[in-house]
Structure 1
Amino acid sequence: MKKSKLFTVIGGMGVAVLSIFLISADHIDAPSVAGTNADITDFYAFQGENSGNLVFAANVQGLLVPGQPTEQAKFDETILIEINIDNNNDLKEDLVIQAIRRGDSMYFFGPTAPATQGLESTIATSTRRSVKISTKDDLQIGEKDGMKFFAGPREDPFFFDFNKYNEVLAGNATSFDNPGEDTFAGSNVLSVVIEVPKSMLPGGVVGVNPFAPNTPIYNVWVETKRKQ
Structure 2
Amino acid sequence: MSHHLSGPNLRSPKDDARLDLTDLFVFPAAQDGRTVLIMNVNPFAPTQGEAFHPDAVYRLNVDTDGDDIADLAYSFVFSAHENGRQTVTVHRATGDQAREHEAGGQAVVSDATVAFGAEPNIVNSGDLRFSAGLRSDPFFADLDGIVNDFKWTGNDFGIDKNVFGIVLEVPDSELGDGPIGVWARVSLRQNGRLVSVDRGAHPSLTAYFNAEDVKEKYNAGEPADDWDTYREAWSAVLAHTGGYGTEAAEEALRTVLPDVLRFDRTRPVAYPNGRTLTDDVTSARLAMVSGGKITDDHIGPHTDLLDEFPYLGHPHPVS
Whether 1:188 and 2:150 are equivalent positions in the alignment is no
Whether 1:105 and 2:87 are equivalent positions in the alignment is yes
Question: How far did residue 125 of structure 1 move?
Answer: 4.3
The one-letter code matched in structure 1 to 2:156 is D
Match of 2:174 in 1: 200
Q: Deviations over 1:96-153 (max 9, x none)?
A: 1111112521111115334262xx4232242331321012145310001111010001
Q: Contact 1:108/1:129 (CA < 8 Å) preserved in 2? A: yes
Provide the identity percentage: 23
Q: Contact 1:114/1:122 (CA < 8 Å) preserved in 2? A: no
Whether 1:151 and 2:125 are equivalent positions in the alignment is no
CA distance in 2, matches of 1:55, 1:220: 11
Q: CA RMSD in A?
A: 2.2
| Other structure's SS at 1:25 match | coil
Equivalent of residue 107 in structure 2, options 113, 127, 143 = 127
Q: Deviations over 1:41-75 (max 9, x none)?
A: 1111111001211111111110225xx6x7x2210
The one-letter code matched in structure 2 to 1:98 is S
Match of 1:77 in 2: 54
Q: Report the CA distance shift for 1:29/1:202 in structure 2 as closer, same or farther (over 3 A).
A: closer
Larger strand percent? 1
Equivalent of residue 218 in structure 1, options 169, 174, 180 = 180
CA distance in 2, matches of 1:199, 1:101: 27
* Residues matched between the structures, number: 180
The one-letter code matched in structure 1 to 2:18 is N
Match of 1:15 in 2: none
| Other structure's SS at 1:37 match | helix
Q: Contact 2:61/2:70 (CA < 8 Å) preserved in 1? A: yes
CA distance in 1, matches of 2:167, 2:93: 14
Q: Contact 2:91/2:106 (CA < 8 Å) preserved in 1? A: yes
What 5-or-longer segments of structure 2 have no aligned partner? 81-85, 194-319
The one-letter code matched in structure 2 to 1:194 is L
Q: Contact 1:96/1:114 (CA < 8 Å) preserved in 2? A: no
| Other structure's SS at 1:57 match | strand
Q: TM-score, normalised by structure 2?
A: 0.52
Q: Deviations over 1:138-193 (max 9, x none)?
A: 53100011110100011111001110001226xxx3xx46xx32112212111100
- Bigger shift: residues 52-61 or 26-35: 26-35
Q: Contact 2:4/2:12 (CA < 8 Å) preserved in 1? A: no
Match of 1:14 in 2: none
Q: TM-score, normalised by structure 1?
A: 0.71
Q: Report the CA distance shift for 1:29/1:110 in structure 2 as closer, same or farther (over 3 A).
A: closer
Whether 1:168 and 2:149 are equivalent positions in the alignment is yes
CA distance in 1, matches of 2:107, 2:144: 45
Higher RCO, 1 or 2 (CA under 8 Å, sep at least 6)? 1
CA distance in 1, matches of 2:129, 2:98: 26
Match of 1:10 in 2: none
Larger helix percent? 2
